[in-house]
Amino acid sequence: MLHSKHLTIPANTSEAAPYKTQFLVNQGVIYRIWVAFPGGCVGLVKLRILHQGHPILPVEKDAYITGNNYTYEYPLMEEIITSPETLSIEAWNEDDTYSHKIDIQILILAKKWVLPVGAYEGIIAALKSISERRSE
């Protein structure tokens, strides 16, 4: 399921009193997050995404994402156990004149569609083993 939000962050929004919004998401695994900063943001708009009060993007407690005329793509493997669940977004805008817009998209896949960590290496080893047996 792809969730999408278009945010307008007002001018003079501080980190101490950030713009806040939420995504209501279903059970699964957060597989990708895209954050688009249009031209004009020039590093003045900053944001972070939290799950159950803990930062997931970026993962450091006091860190944030910023950009200008760029879309970031972040691979994640954050499991959403209950449905529905809330992801929180905190954003601020240090521009004293203009509000700025950013777009966020979150792709959540069913857990059964996401390979567990390390499964890829196991699959490759199994295929090599089969290939080696055939060549004997």
Question: What is the residue-level pLDDT of the chain in tens, covering all 136 positions?
Answer: 999 999 999 999 999 999 999 999 999 999 999 999 999 999 999 999 999 999 999 999 889 999 999 999 999 989 999 989 999 999 999 999 999 999 999 999 988 777 665 565 666 677 777 766 665 5
Please state, in angstroms and rounded to a whole number, the distance separating the CA atoms of residues 13 and 131: 60
| Domain containing residue 23 | 2-111
Alpha-helical regions (H) of the chain: 119-135
pLDDT of residue 83: 85
Q: Tally Cβ neighbours within 10 Å of residue 108.
A: 26
pLDDT of residue 121: 61
pLDDT of residue 98: 96
Q: Does residue 100 fall inside a structural domain?
A: yes
Q: Does residue 129 fall inside a structural domain?
A: no
Query: The tokens of 84 are what?
Result: 């529905």
Specify the DSSP class assigned to residue 96: S
Q: Does residue 27 fall inside a structural domain?
A: yes
Q: How many domains would you assign to the chain?
A: 1
Q: Does residue 69 fall inside a structural domain?
A: yes
- CATH number where 74 lies: 2.60.120
Residues pairing with 21 in the sheet: 89
pLDDT of residue 115: 63
Please state, in angstroms and rounded to a whole number, the distance separating the CA atoms of residues 78 and 42: 29
